[in-house]
Amino acid sequence: MLNDSSTIAAISTAKGVGGIGVVRISGNDSLKIANKICNVDITPRKAHFSTFKDKKNITLDQGVVIYFPSPASFTGEDIVELQGHGGVVVLNLILKSCLSYGARLAAPGEFTKRAFLNNKLDLSQAESVADLINASTEAAAKSAINSLSGSFSNKINDLLNKLIDLRVFVEACLDFPEEDINFIDQGKVDKKLKDLNINIYKILDSAKQGQLLRDGVKVVLIGQPNVGKSSLMNQLARQNKAIVTEIPGTTRDPIKSDINIQGIPIHLTDTAGLRNTEDVVEKFGIDKTWESIEEADIAIILADVTVAPAKYEEIIINQLPKSLNKIFVKNKIDLLKQNSSITYQNNEPQIFISAMKGDGIILVENEILKIIGKEKSSSNKEDLFMARSRHIEALEKVKSALNNATLNLQAPELVAEELMIAQKSLSKITGEFSSDDLLGQIFGEFCIGK
């Protein structure tokens, strides 16, 4: 795949009906193929009006053809764009015509993969192309474009250069042992390691926020039947997603809704109320509630403020995973004529709300943000970048290697070894040391035509 010189083609615009649709061809034969399909003299970087024909010389469509010669193109190869009318059938006919003249159908993400292989983008920038396309909130899109324009890669490369400098110094000391009497002091290795550590903490903080923007947070609403879970779901989603009735056991299947709080995507799940029941259908619903709990990052545990806590509630709470973040919410305060409020018990928040009246919803939203660290994060919204779990894993590895190096300052060989591990992990982010498997996985997630 690395040296694949075939010419590829795909419909690059979204499937469906639109004013314009684009078929893109990339590779050595792009111009040759376009010359067969079009009836104009195609000059680089000029928009030409042309008919598009098939092999039997039948006119399929008319539109604009543009030729971007290598290397100044998205993929770095010769690219031709055929811009026709945006109908599924007509675009497929144009694509077929390209294939009949020798192009191969592009695999998902293959254009971007070629851009990466031709050094047009590094790996984290290529990933942010997919993230930008898939961004579900404005904040996510902004951070993806930041990454695409290189803000993440620049930070990583900056850190990488500092790391390499230090590594060269330490390795040199190993090669000339007679001069290493006090290598730590001379090179101020300790201070440099500390600086690197501070840098890595900052990048990790931003990367974690970036990952949140990309992947969002899973929040599950649980509690006994009839406490107002579906009512709260509807308030948070600002639309009637779930059926609300006074009959306990109304919700059966988990109901999902994707919302965003201050630009953070939140994947909400409303669930069947937890109780001992003989109703077979309800039992299935309750099993699904437990499945949703297992997947969740945060559980909102709802109870009716007018009802004394039942023993069963305690049993539920004790069964929840210890690592699950919990927000306790007492609902229906309107019945007690109280206002919304928040208190903390053993560091666990308890919020008093009225889901019916929409009172206290903002307290719940703020608590979610607080748990995910949005409030205390030091990173500025403007310099957020998209990050994925593989980036976070790599950065965590760098952090622990730097810590190990600091702990082993008396043994230069170990410091050198740890710095090498740190350098390798960091390079994986921009793709210098990435395996074919990883590339296949990353580009496989793209849509065809990108």
* Binding residues for ligand GTP restricted to 174-213, rule: CB under 6 A: none
In the list 230, 354, 379, 427, the residue contacting Mg ion (rule: CB under 5 A) is 230
229 lies in the binding site for ligand GTP (CB under 6 A): yes
312 lies in the binding site for ligand GTP (CB under 6 A): no
Residue 278 binds what, of ligand GTP, Mg ion, none (CB under 5 to 8 Å, by partner type)?
A: none
292 lies in the binding site for ligand GTP (CB under 6 A): no
* Binding residues for Mg ion restricted to 87-126, rule: CB under 5 A: none
In the list 354, 423, 425, 427, the residue contacting ligand GTP (rule: CB under 6 A) is 354
Closer to Mg ion by CB, 128 or 251: give it.
251
* Residue window 236-275: x/- pattern of binding to ligand GTP, with contact defined by CB under 6 A: --------xxx-xxxx---------------------x--
Residue 87 binds what, of Mg ion, ligand GTP, none (CB under 5 to 8 Å, by partner type)?
A: none
Residue 226 binds what, of Mg ion, ligand GTP, none (CB under 5 to 8 Å, by partner type)?
A: ligand GTP
Size of the site for ligand GTP (CB under 6 A): 22
235 lies in the binding site for ligand GTP (CB under 6 A): no
Distance CA 400, CA 84 (A): 53
Size of the site for Mg ion (CB under 5 A): 4
231 lies in the binding site for ligand GTP (CB under 6 A): yes
351 lies in the binding site for ligand GTP (CB under 6 A): no
Beta bridge partners of 68: 79
Distance CA 422, CA 416 (A): 10
* Residue window 414-433: x/- pattern of binding to ligand GTP, with contact defined by CB under 6 A: --------------------
Closer to Mg ion by CB, 230 or 289: give it.
230
In the list 120, 267, 330, 332, the residue contacting ligand GTP (rule: CB under 6 A) is 332
The footprint of Mg ion (CB under 5 A) covers: 229-230, 250-251
The footprint of ligand GTP (CB under 6 A) covers: 225-231, 244-246, 248-251, 273, 331-332, 334-335, 354-356
